[in-house]
Structure 1
Amino acid sequence: MFDASRQDSTVSLADNGTVSEATYSLALIPGDGIGVDVVAAALVPLQAVADKHGFAVRQSTFDWSCARYLETGSMMPDDGLEQLSGHDAVLLGAVGWPAQVPDSVSLHGLLLPIRQGFDLFVNMRPHLLLPGITGPLRKSEFDILVIRENTEGEYSGAGGRVHQGTKIEVAVETAIFTRAAVERILRYGFEQARSRSGRLASVTKSNAQKHTMVFWDDVTDELAAEYPDVTVTRYHIDAIAARFVTHPETLDVVVASNLFGDILSDIGAAIQGGLGFAASANINPDGGFPSMFEPVHGSAPDIAGQGIANPIATIWSVSQMLQHLGERAAAADLLRALGTVTATPERLTPDCGGTGTTDTVAAQVAAAL
């Protein structure tokens, strides 16, 4: 069942839910394609919820994108992380223009350097059906929180190619799993499970990957002894991928490696109505760096600039951002407003079967506040 107050239990900077008089510095990276459209739209309900709850948001926009890469040869400047570091949070739209810039270039030139450079080791994606939204499954009563290790694992970038372009070419990609990273993401998952239903699913493929994934299982077992109030179920990635489709209501907090979490959260997006609802938070719970919030639907160049992109994932990501910044009441209020709007699907964007536009949907959410 939809519950605006239960979207996640991220560590906050303030925890009393009262009206704030703070001013937050927000770095905007609209990026490519529909990222530009949905970020602009999400600022409308953000301003409305800020006005209602008594805080202010100071925005700085960065043109880091594939267009910049084509002009300068880099997705962002050399001191990009330094420029972002003075902000309280980052809102990213989408990155990618594969017809002109390979995805491997755009991803490794912007998104991954921010995640890894700021040690945003938690990637958190909520999966549930908002009011009025019908997913592809007959089941509707599910509320899954995927927690993905976000800085190493299969996306570490360790490896290379030799004898490139010849018949004896070799490519090696090495997954890196450190005890520090595995333990901290699992511990974060245990804490989330403790605050929700007390159920944790840990995902590996330890029957086939006998080093890294057995190691992950071992660390899971060690930590489980510290959390006797949390029930742990270990799944292989193929089995839990099927369970997302057949029995999603049996899952709550799911913790997985970088690659497995990426795959599962796309399945989660599919069963919650599509990528237009796929919100995401990249968080360093320890602070010290700005966390980054983004929809994960991609840049969709084929519909960019047409005003039909679904802004809900971006607005939901803004709600996650407010939660993380300590504006808990505002975060819940924004998510409730989203639910009010989605309850009338015909007013949503075409991907939801509606006749609305990117801007009209955002305006409806602002009005619902």
Structure 2
Amino acid sequence: MRHYSIAVIPGDGIGPEVINESLKVLKTLEELHGGIRFSYEYFDWNCQYYLQNGRMMPKDGLEQLKNHDVILFGAVGDPSVPDHISVWELILPIRKGFQQYVNLRPIRLLRGIDSPLRYKDHDDLDFIVVRENTEGEYSDMGGRLHAGTPFEMAIQNNVITRQGSERILQYAYSLAERRKKKHLTVATKSNAINHTMTFWDEVVNEVRKDYPHIQTQLYHIDALAAYFVMKPESLDVVLGSNLFGDILTDLGAAIVGGLGLAPSGNINPEKQFPSMFEAIHGSAPDIAGKGIANPIAQIWSVSLMMDHLDLPELGKLVLDSIEDVLVEGIVRTPDLGGSCTTKEMGDAIVAQMKKSALTKNI
């Protein structure tokens, strides 16, 4: 019997709603597999916690999380708390403190979904973005000078390190080695950002020598954004810095059906610390409490979690079941043109998992 400890942070807005559906999926995986058990510890760290305590999590928050195998994260953000506080005091400390230097975001057109790109089909839209997750443009280096005067200024530094660049490149190459196309596309902007991005390019060109069997291309971020729309079939593994990867993956989500279908994993590949799995859609306060949020992205993140825990057959079961429900087309949330609730979508996926497991000998 394998036992896995999961820290659950439901967060704000629709976070608790979609987390509930992913927990049903985890319970179903336990029932179907028989050889695994999940235990949970819940943490009420969100914007309400901030309003009551003046911080997004306790001072020893990372210490409380570190002994868990993985973290299941809902969403963070509420109009009552500025976004830079909720993000910089909860998500980013976890990512950086636990060296979750890989942000993994699949861009895949699921069966049963049509892309807004009318001339692209499912074979054209199936790649994955690796986003550097601990430095780059989201480094907390900078500040303000002459605040409150006409001379006020703000500086935010973009930090690119050799170690950070090498390790994210090595991860991206190892991922490309396991995929059919064996192709890595790297985002840059060295024609205009002449210090950090030229250094990034130099490290790319050094590391690529160790992977001569992987086709490697460097593209300026603006051209690469156009390729996401015009020729996504040319992409396999895409690597970007923190900001570039963040922007590209929202664009990627848009071309495969929307943010309700976009999962992510914040990965510590060495498993020295827990990795964290979440949807990328945010807390969506405008629909919170209505019971209509699409839980697919959060449930798909459970599939990524299973892959990380070396349970790929369970990860595949979850993803295949999501697609089977979408292909059937009966249960759809409003963002997918239907009228079903968050719970109904989660229930349909769980029912399909149980049905599929009978034929797959899980």
Contact 1:49/1:366 (<8 A) preserved = no
2:64 maps to which of 75, 83, 87: 83
Matches for 1:231-242 after TM superposition, within 5 Å: 231-242=215-226
**Residue 254 (structure 1) aligns with:** 238
Between the aligned partners of 1:235 and 1:344, the Cα distance in structure 2 is 39
Contact 1:199/1:232 (<8 A) preserved = yes
1:249 to partner: Cα distance: 0.9
1:27 counterpart letter in structure 2: A
Contact 1:26/1:57 (<8 A) preserved = yes
**Residue 131 (structure 1) aligns with:** 111
**Residue 195 (structure 1) aligns with:** 178
Between the aligned partners of 1:40 and 1:159, the Cα distance in structure 2 is 39
2:154 alignment partner, SS class = strand
1:303 alignment partner, SS class = coil
Query: When the two structures are superposed, what TM-score results if normalisation uses the length of structure 2?
Result: 0.95
Query: When the two structures are superposed, what TM-score results if normalisation uses the length of structure 1?
Result: 0.93
Contact 1:124/1:280 (<8 A) preserved = yes
2:297 maps to which of 313, 316, 319: 313
1:165 maps to which of 132, 142, 148: 148
Q: Does 1:155 align with 2:135?
A: no
**Residue 199 (structure 2) aligns with:** 215
**Residue 44 (structure 1) aligns with:** 24
Between the aligned partners of 1:191 and 1:183, the Cα distance in structure 2 is 12
1:283 to partner: Cα distance: 0.4
1:225 alignment partner, SS class = helix
Contact 1:346/1:353 (<8 A) preserved = no
**Residue 360 (structure 2) aligns with:** none
2:248 maps to which of 251, 264, 279: 264
2:95 counterpart letter in structure 1: R
Contact 2:7/2:42 (<8 A) preserved = yes
1:345 to partner: Cα distance: 3.3
1:177 maps to which of 153, 156, 160: 160
2:137 alignment partner, SS class = strand
Between the aligned partners of 1:50 and 1:331, the Cα distance in structure 2 is 13
Between the aligned partners of 1:342 and 1:73, the Cα distance in structure 2 is 42
2:144 counterpart letter in structure 1: R
2:281 maps to which of 293, 297, 316: 297
50-59 or 281-290, which deviates more: 50-59
**Residue 106 (structure 1) aligns with:** 86
Between the aligned partners of 2:133 and 2:242, the Cα distance in structure 1 is 6
**Residue 92 (structure 1) aligns with:** 73
Between the aligned partners of 1:50 and 1:174, the Cα distance in structure 2 is 46
Between the aligned partners of 1:238 and 1:198, the Cα distance in structure 2 is 23
1:157 alignment partner, SS class = coil
2:55 maps to which of 74, 78, 82: 74
**Aligned length, in residue pairs:** 348
Q: Which runs of 4+ in 1 moved over 4 A?
A: none
1:323 maps to which of 298, 304, 307: 307
Provide, for residues 278-330 of structure 1, a one-character-per-residue CA deviation record: whole Å limited to 9, x for no partner: 10000010111100000010100011011100000000001100110111111
1:223 to partner: Cα distance: 1.2
1:155 alignment partner, SS class = coil
1:201 counterpart letter in structure 2: T
Between the aligned partners of 2:125 and 2:297, the Cα distance in structure 1 is 18
Provide, for residues 46-104 of structure 1, a one-character-per-residue CA deviation record: whole Å limited to 9, x for no partner: 2112211121110111000001001110000000000001100000000000x211100
Between the aligned partners of 1:143 and 1:241, the Cα distance in structure 2 is 16
Unaligned runs of 5+ in 2: 354-362
1:26 to partner: Cα distance: 0.4
Contact 2:125/2:256 (<8 A) preserved = no
Between the aligned partners of 2:252 and 2:162, the Cα distance in structure 1 is 27
1:346 to partner: Cα distance: 4.2
1:153 counterpart letter in structure 2: G
1:301 alignment partner, SS class = coil
Between the aligned partners of 1:353 and 1:267, the Cα distance in structure 2 is 20
The Cα RMSD (Å) is 0.8
130-139 or 74-83, which deviates more: 130-139
Contact 2:331/2:348 (<8 A) preserved = no
1:338 alignment partner, SS class = helix
Provide, for residues 131-168 of structure 1, a one-character-per-residue CA deviation record: whole Å limited to 9, x for no partner: 11112112122211000000000001100011112111
Unaligned runs of 5+ in 1: 1-20
| Matched-pair identity in % | 53
**Residue 357 (structure 2) aligns with:** none
Provide, for residues 181-203 of structure 1, a one-character-per-residue CA deviation record: whole Å limited to 9, x for no partner: 00100111111111112100011
Q: Does 1:33 align with 2:17?
A: no
Contact 1:158/1:174 (<8 A) preserved = yes
250-259 or 346-355, which deviates more: 346-355
Contact 1:75/1:106 (<8 A) preserved = yes
Between the aligned partners of 1:219 and 1:239, the Cα distance in structure 2 is 21
1:292 alignment partner, SS class = strand
Contact 1:345/1:352 (<8 A) preserved = no
Contact 1:346/1:355 (<8 A) preserved = no
